[in-house]
Amino acid sequence: MTLGCLLGSLLLSVALWAKPAPEPVSILMPAPFADATAELVETFNREHPGIALSVTRGPLETEAVSDLAISSLLLGNSPYDVLLMDVTWTPKYAKAGWLEPLEAWLGADALEDLAPGAELGNAFDGHLWRFPLVADMGLLFWRTDLMEAPPRTPAELEAISQSLQQEGRVRWGYVWEGRQYEGLSCTYLEVLRGFGGSWLRDGSPDLNSNAAIAASQWLRHLVDVGITPPAVANMAEPEALQTFETGDAAFMRNWPYAWAELNRDGSLLAGKVGITTMVSEPQEPHVATQGSWGLSVLSSSQHKQAAVEALQFLTSAAAQKQLNLNWGYTPTRLSVFEDPELIRANPVLPELQAALAAAVLRPVTPIYAQLSDLLYREVNTVITGEVAAAPAMETLQRNSIQLERSTGGIS
Amino acid sequence: MLRWRQQFWLLLPALGLLTLVFLVPIAHYLWLSTQTQTVLTELRPVPAGAAQWIRLWNDSRFWQDAWQTLRFAGLSVTTEMVLGLAIALLLNEPLRGRSSLRMISLLPWALPTTVMALGWRWIFNDPYGPINQALGWIGVTPIPFLANPSITWISTVWADTWKTTPFVALLLLAGLQNIPRDLYEAAQLEGASAWQSLRHITIPLLTPYLLIALVFRLAQALGVFDLVQVLTGGGPAGSTESLALYAYLNAMRFLDFGYSATVMLGAFTGLLVLCGALALLWWWSSGRQDLAGGGR
């Protein structure tokens, strides 16, 4: 009896020993993405018995995830193999040597299936560092119950806002992200391009141009004339969405996630919201700041082959379709955008595709965080009315040029 | 009596720990402040001489943040000391339900700063937060607590005061309980008013506790980080950015470690000067107190 037991456990341990332990692959993601991909991870692990894929739920806020990732990378022994990265991190992480170039793993034509706009922001310095999982771009949300068609120029936006406000149908016209943080750079970039300006010209800051001044002046003007509440100077995405979803505003600038929020059961505005791209002066483009999330493999990973397999699985067309159907995440692959089943389920998909095609990148440089910090700080100063647009943009230009010089060039 | 050799060996673990925890990091920071170590050097340190210190000296943002940090610490610590003393005096009285009152008054201090900062971000929300809702009922226009540079720094002080006044009150309460009751009785017999007892008995005998609270609170307030990071992100218009937040931005966002170390050391130097001044004050007042209390 005892002998049998012993023999049995011996056999069992031999069997366990003979079967290699599955290769662990760990991905760090912001919590909402971790929740959304949980089912996919389960499927992956079932189909790949040799790999044990696990997802760490990171913080909700974009920069807090970056802080966590960077802390682990600086300590030299990161527990993660794959990171879900915001588009603006890529050059910084690549330059720091933390990422594995992906072209050797995925092939040079890896990005070919992507929808126009989604291919942006994944390569830097001639290498592919990231594969986009979820597309994200700035959108102008408008109330279909209050107007026939969305405004296409700043003047139209003002006119519709003011007439709705005068009729007492909304308290505010337009809410957007004006807090001193990255979201303001995204908001400002769209207005800047809509006024014919550009953040960099020939690789150098161009922030004291007439268009750049007019763009920040317009944002302040919206507050001055009461279309935008003064509280905008501390509004991030949640605050803007809050004002809009209570029905207090006619327009909002936000990301695609807000669409799902606004149309969920019990929402005051379900079925009453349309999306389009940002307003622009006649002749100037309507653009959307690109804010996609993508997967990168860390250069320190000991399990790169398995990590790449997980990356390919999670970004596959089938996975993206599931993420869109169940979680409303915007796909990055053209074939998914054109899937008739998805379009039936998500009639807004073609409009998202159009917005993605209008996507523009924030400057692609390892020192983007500094550049953006200078920009949102100064534009926020204009929004609060502390400093007029022209001198503030002069300061911004001077500081940006100084940063460019001290770092030996932006890209 | 222990011999000095034994004393040395007994002190050694503590000294070692202090060296490890304080001296080594400071020495490393000093070295780092002579290097350029950024994302552009691929995080490898490159000797930079005094360049980082010159950059610090010429960096108007550093000086602006230094002023804003001092302003924040000055107002919040002063308010906390006054309020803390008042609450401690109250809680020292034989009130009904005193122990539960003491416990309740400690609650804000027990909350993690980020949690309470998120709470205040909501309370200060314009126009949906509770304060502005209440103001709306009485017909007052909403106050942009977090969106106006001349108001927002007061909002950060307000939130900080709410959180840390209990800490000051607790320290001072402990001090109050060490003051012998008979001193007050004697003063009363002599016909001293309540104000005179406070002025001539309570405050002098409480001075060491006031100073401890002051040093603790100043050190914390001058290093304020999480509160502003969550509440305002340093805005609006950079008006609430503290030195710690600036150093954090340089290190974690910009990956500019040499300069971040220099900012921290610059702030540290300022803190040393302040603490030195406070220590002098302490030394001076404890000398006085020994004289005053010499007859007891």
Interface predicted TM-score (ipTM) of this complex, two decimals = 0.88
Q: Residue B200, SS3?
A: helix
Nearest to B128 among A242, A367, A407 (CB): A242
In this structure, what token pair is assigned to residue B254?
Answer: 């910009």
The tens digit of pLDDT for each residue in B77-107 reads: 999 999 999 999 999 888 888 888 888 888 8
d(CA A85, CA A74): 17
With 80 as the cut, is the pLDDT of residue B294 above it? no
Residue type, A27: I
| Structural domain spans, chain A | 22-136+291-360, 139-289+367-406
Question: Is there a contact between A367 and B127 if contact means CB atoms under 8 Å apart?
Answer: no
d(CA A363, CA B71): 36
pLDDT in the model for residue A10: 53
Q: CA neighbours within 13 Å on the CB side: how many for A23?
A: 16
Question: Is there a contact between A367 and B43 if contact means CB atoms under 8 Å apart?
Answer: no
- List the single residue in B with minimal CA-CA distance to A182: B233
Taking CB atoms and an 8 Å cut-off, how many pairs form between chains A and B? 101
pLDDT in the model for residue A281: 97
With 80 as the cut, is the pLDDT of residue B293 above it? no
- List the single residue in B with minimal CA-CA distance to A246: B128
pLDDT in the model for residue B295: 39
CB atoms within 10 A of CB A233: 30
* Structural domains of chain B, ranges and CATH numbers in brackets: 62-290 (1.10.3720.10)
Cβ-in-10-Å burial (0-12, 13-18, 19+) of A359 comes to: buried
pLDDT tens string, chain A, 411 residues long: the values are 455 555 555 555 555 555 678 999 999 999 999 999 999 999 999 999 999 999 999 998 888 899 999 999 988 888 999 999 999 999 999 999 999 999 999 998 889 999 999 999 999 999 999 999 999 999 999 999 999 999 999 999 999 999 999 999 999 999 999 999 999 999 999 999 999 999 999 999 999 999 999 999 999 999 999 999 999 999 999 999 999 999 999 999 999 999 989 998 899 999 999 999 999 999 999 999 999 999 999 999 999 999 999 999 999 999 999 999 999 899 999 999 999 999 999 999 999 999 999 999 999 999 999 999 999 999 999 999 999 999 999 999 999 999 999 888 876
Q: Does domain A139-289+367-406 have CATH number 3.40.190.10?
A: yes
Q: Any idea what DSSP says for residue A97?
A: T
d(CA B296, CA B283): 20
Nearest 5°: phi and psi at A114? -75, 150
d(CA B128, CA B147): 14
A22-136+291-360 and A139-289+367-406 share one CATH topology?
yes
Question: Is there a contact between B148 and A230 if contact means CB atoms under 8 Å apart?
Answer: yes
The tens digit of pLDDT for each residue in B224-271 reads: 999 999 999 998 999 999 999 999 999 999 999 999 999 999 999 988
Nearest to A97 among B42, B147, B252 (CB): B42
From the options 3.20.20.70, 3.40.50.300, 3.40.190.10, 3.40.50.970, give the CATH code of A22-136+291-360: 3.40.190.10
Nearest 5°: phi and psi at B229? -55, -45
Contact A137, A291 (CB under 8 A): yes
Tokens 């550049």: give the residue: A371
Q: Return the axis-axis angle of helices B257-292 and B51-58, rounded to nearest 10°.
A: 70
- Let me know how long chain A is: 411
Q: What is the DSSP string of A168-180?
A: TS-SEEEE---SS
Q: In what order do the strands lie in the sheet with A273-276?
A: A172-175, A249-254, A139-143, A273-276
Show Cβ contacts of residue B177 under 8 Å, excluding neighbours closer than 6 positions: B92
Cα torsion through A177, A182, A187, A192, rounded to 10: 150
How far is CA B245 from each of CA A371, B46, B73, B175, B267, rounded to the nearest angstrom? 17, 25, 14, 34, 11
With 80 as the cut, is the pLDDT of residue B286 above it? no
Question: Across chain B, how many H-helices and E-strands are there?
Answer: 14, 2
Nearest to B211 by CA among B83, B92, B77, B102: B77
Stretch 93-112 of chain A: residues touching chain B, C-beta under 8 Å: 95-97
Q: What is the DSSP string of A278-330?
A: PP--TTS---EEB--EEEEEBTT-S-HHHHHHHHHHHTSHHHHHHHHHHH-PB
pLDDT in the model for residue A5: 55
Question: Is there a contact between B253 and A233 if contact means CB atoms under 8 Å apart?
Answer: no
Residue type, B187: A
Question: Is there a contact between A231 and B233 if contact means CB atoms under 8 Å apart?
Answer: no
Q: A5 CA to chain B: closest CA distance, Å?
A: 52
Contact A173, A157 (CB under 8 A): yes
- Let me know how long chain B is: 296
Cross-strand partners of A201? A204
Question: Is there a contact between B38 and A63 if contact means CB atoms under 8 Å apart?
Answer: no
Cross-strand partners of B47? B35
In this structure, what token pair is assigned to residue A14?
Answer: 């031999």
> What does pLDDT average to over chain A?
93
Q: B75 CA to chain A: closest CA distance, Å?
A: 23
In this structure, what token pair is assigned to residue A7?
Answer: 């023999």
In this structure, what token pair is assigned to residue B275?
Answer: 């603490």
In this structure, what token pair is assigned to residue A235?
Answer: 């509004």
